[in-house]
A and B are shown apart, each in its own frame.
Chain A
Amino acid sequence: MTTPLLQITNLRAGLAGPPPVEILKGISLTIHPGEVHAIMGPNGSGKSTLSKVAAGHPDYTVTGGDVVFMGESLLGMEPDARARKGLFLGFQYPVEIPGVSNAEFLRIAGNARRRERGEEELDPFDFQELLDQHMKNLDMDARFKERGVNEGFSGGEKKRNEILQMAVLDPALAILDETDSGLDVDALKIVSKGINALRRPDNAVLLITHYQRLLDYVQPDFVHILMNGKILKSGDKSLALEVETRGYDWLVA
């Protein structure tokens, strides 16, 4: 048995408030290297909260339990330290940052991660080469390099840009929050291809999604159903198919 990449134990968390609102009511989840997990659940079940708590969003607070990532508790760790350690959050709604060039941002982020891993930083030329390669894989136009971060990107372009960042940062664990929402079939295929290309025996992916459509392209090893802040059921890919045909209601009955 390998050491888990991520071990969530009885996690209780929610909006910091005021007033504080508890959203996650005791979640436990273990992710090992090489695995793909999917969390599904209806609106308001706490899926996005889980991803934000893991990434250290300041609006959320943990009231119980623990989240251990690569042997170290994330609680009390700054969001940037979590990222440099190898945790990646793909945002459901990536923000636009006009005036910060996408390429410059990616290079600073990529080099911060490289430093953390004891690797040499890439100079602008080497980085450019790496970036061009990743962008080609994601079928992204070169002009996205010079634009402001996500500035004026369409919904699909923003999601591709998220996967591009994931590729540059090469995380140990990527949590992708509804990366499939707002994507047409072609874009979904490209994004899925990008995610699959980054899969290795030593990293893992946690997909958060409403629909099982994404799971046709990125095959999960485990599927968890999150409802009312709790994981009600875990299984393999067939669970996602069952939800697709029966909805979520049968799980609470």
Chain B
Amino acid sequence: MTETAAIPTPFNMRATHVPDVPETLRRVAESLRKAHPSPALRELREAAWTVFESMGVPQNGHEDFSFVSSADLKGVLNRLPDGKLLAPEISSATTIGVRDEVDSGWMELLKAESDAPAALAAALAPAPREIALADKDQVRVVLAGSLARADHALRLDVPAHAKASVSFVLENPEAQAFVNAVVYLRLGAGATLDVSVSEAAQGFQLLKIGADLRRDAQLNLLTVSTGSRLARVSIDAALREPGASLDARGAAVAAGANRSHRHLRIRHAAPDCVSKQLFKTVVPGPGRSSMDGTVFVDPGAQRTDARQLLQHLLLSKEGRADAKPRLLIHADDVKCSHGATVGKTDPAQKFYLLSRGLDARTADRLLTQAFLNEALEIFPDEATADARARLMDAIGVEAK
């Protein structure tokens, strides 16, 4: 069973309502399309726009955006591009081939796109990029926001049996800035890719990561966030061929009144694949977090091993945490588990630390750190030291 499996996806709200497509945006998108000299890019934008148009701006009650403020979403998605050429900043390495033109592979990806902001990002991105990674490549990609809007579309291909790593940085330092990005990762047979996503952000950011794993490919992914006005990362991974394996983890702090949203869709489309999701978010004060994860096991995806755990640490009464762990299983020989927890730091653990003379603040800091550590442990300590420091900083004085 491979990508031909067609499973009804009840969470995809396409065609269940009249799509909300702002008229001015439609006109701007059209003129952008027509203006571009490259036929390939025109075609890509056309396809992406058509997909976006069929969905429109997610409205109140949209199941994939149920925890996100629809007013905020509408506000930013309706913004018009200011015509600046905002390209992703990609660290150079001799082995990386970056092409400005796009090939037919994009069409396949876009036609299957179910995330409206992602489709819009591809339709409006001034400079879509393709990166062909080579073995041992280590690439850093900065996706910057802008006060108007900044749309980015990227595709990374990891050839068979290559091993590479990419870190994405969402840079959005202004409170009103907006970045909307879509990234497609395609892992060839036996390829290994380590991905880390960090948000150095204040404003509004939406990131969709699509991942496609072939036979025995391995994707290790860590998202780190301290939240912002609107911080949503959506991961949509498909394990297409036997032996593919995904380890997706998240460590987040919804600092202050920040919001942090994690949306996860993992599809087991072939037998003998393994997926693990471990997402942890601390809400120290009046912030808000959501983690919405679904694992689909297609018919025929036997011997699937899928584990999902979504955990919240809620340190004050003012915070809010929503978790929605789900499994949709259409095969009978599988090992699947899912769960969600929400709570304060463990009182027995805290008393133990206090009884050794650690003050309450230090005890809370250690226990919170310990909570996040399990997610950060996906990569070696030195690789996550900055993230760790930033997360602990974000918890700051609010922890009680």
* Neighbour of B357 across the interface among A94, A97, A99, A112, CB < 8 A: A112
Residues of B within 8 A of A84 (CB): 357
Which B residues from 75 to 103 make CB contacts under 8 A with A?
Answer: none
Q: Is the CB of A83 within 8 A of B349?
A: no
Question: In this complex, what residue of B is CB-closest to A171?
Answer: B357
Q: Is the CB of A169 within 8 A of B351?
A: no
Which B residues from 322 to 354 make CB contacts under 8 A with A?
Answer: 346-349, 351-354
Which B residues from 227 to 245 make CB contacts under 8 A with A?
Answer: none
Question: In this complex, what residue of B is CB-closest to A99?
Answer: B370
Q: A97-B353, A105-B366, A112-B359 are in contact. List 6 more A-B contacts (CB 8 A).
A: A78-B360, A97-B349, A100-B369, A105-B353, A108-B362, A149-B352
What is the bound-complex CA distance between A228 and B184, given in angstroms? 69
Q: Is the CB of A113 within 8 A of B352?
A: no
Q: Is the CB of B351 within 8 A of A105?
A: no
Question: In this complex, what residue of A is CB-closest to B348?
Answer: A95
What is the bound-complex CA distance between A116 and B358, given in angstroms? 11
Residues of A within 8 A of B360 (CB): 78, 80
What is the bound-complex CA distance between A98 and B280, given in angstroms? 15
Chain B interface mostly: helix
Residues of A in contact, count (CB < 8 Å): 29
Q: Is the CB of B370 within 8 A of A100?
A: yes
Q: Is the CB of A83 within 8 A of B356?
A: yes
What is the bound-complex CA distance between A97 and B374, given in angstroms? 12
Residues of B in contact, count (CB < 8 Å): 23
Scan A61-94; emit 1 where CB is below 8 A from any B CB, else 0. Answer: 0000000000000000011101110000101001
Q: Is the CB of A99 within 8 A of B356?
A: no
A212 interface hit (Cβ, 8 Å): no
B294 interface hit (Cβ, 8 Å): no
Interface set of B (CB-CB < 8 Å, partner A): 346-349, 351-360, 362-363, 366-367, 369-371, 373-374
A55 interface hit (Cβ, 8 Å): yes
Residues of A within 8 A of B347 (CB): 58
Compute the total of residue contacts between A and B using a CB distance below 8 Å. Answer: 75
Question: In this complex, what residue of A is CB-closest to B373?
Answer: A99
Question: In this complex, what residue of B is CB-closest to A98?
Answer: B370
Q: Is the CB of A100 within 8 A of B366?
A: yes
What is the bound-complex CA distance between A97 and B352, given in angstroms? 9
What is the bound-complex CA distance between A109 and B374, given in angstroms? 23
A177 to chain B, nearest CB (A): 11
A213 interface hit (Cβ, 8 Å): no
| Given A57-B351, A95-B349, residue A109 in contact with residue B370 (CB < 8 A) | no
Scan A35-64; emit 1 where CB is below 8 A from any B CB, else 0. Answer: 000000000000000000001111000000
Q: Is the CB of A94 within 8 A of B352?
A: yes
Q: Is the CB of A109 within 8 A of B357?
A: yes
Residues of B within 8 A of A82 (CB): 355
Q: Is the CB of B370 within 8 A of A79?
A: no
Question: In this complex, what residue of A is CB-closest to B361?
Answer: A80
Q: Is the CB of B357 within 8 A of A169?
A: yes
Residues of B within 8 A of A169 (CB): 356-357
Scan A104-135; emit 1 where CB is below 8 A from any B CB, else 0. Answer: 11001100110010000000000000000000
A165 interface hit (Cβ, 8 Å): yes
| Given A99-B371, A100-B366, residue A89 in contact with residue B358 (CB < 8 A) | no
